[in-house]
Amino acid sequence: MKQNFTKAILNTTLFIILIVTSLHVSAQVNLSSGLVAYYPFSGNANDFSGNKNNPIFNNATLTTDRFGNANSAYRFNGSNYIDIPNSASLRMGTKASISFWVKISGFNTGV
């Protein structure tokens, strides 16, 4: 009887370890897979994905980011912009994820 109890405990422990290990393995994701553009704004706005989707500037200026890192964000005054030229690698069809942070310092009341 004691041997059966010990075997049951061992089997249960192995099962729990197997479940925890498989959850850990399936939770790993390659964030570079399918990446078409990556702009870390580390002193410039070049595309770091390897697809060369580098932007064209119209007076956007480097500034401090939300963490206080100099030259790691861009400031826009309402008339300047960054343009990313059309590229085959940017044609993603119907599926896309875009992420960015925005800090609004005021609104243009217009004329």
Mean pLDDT estimate for the chain = 78
Q: How confident is the model at residue 17 (pLDDT cuts 50, 70, 90)?
A: low
Q: State yes or no: pLDDT of 5 exceeds 70.
A: no
Domain annotation covers residue 83: yes
Q: State yes or no: pLDDT of 28 exceeds 80.
A: no
pLDDT of residue 31: 64
pLDDT of residue 68: 92
pLDDT in tens, 76-95: 887 888 898 888 888 878 77
Q: State yes or no: pLDDT of 64 exceeds 80.
A: yes
Number of domains in the chain: 1
Domain encompassing residue 54: 35-88
Tokens 């007076």 correspond to: 59
Nearest C-alpha neighbor of 82 from the set 33, 111, 34, 47: 47
Domain annotation covers residue 53: yes
Domain annotation covers residue 49: yes
Domain annotation covers residue 30: no
The values of phi and psi at residue 74, to 5°, are -120, 145
Domain annotation covers residue 22: no
Whole-number percent of the chain with pLDDT over 90: 10
pLDDT of residue 40: 87
pLDDT of residue 8: 64
Structure tokens given for 53: 């989707």
Q: What are the counts of helices (DSSP H) followed by strands (DSSP E) for the chain?
A: 1, 4
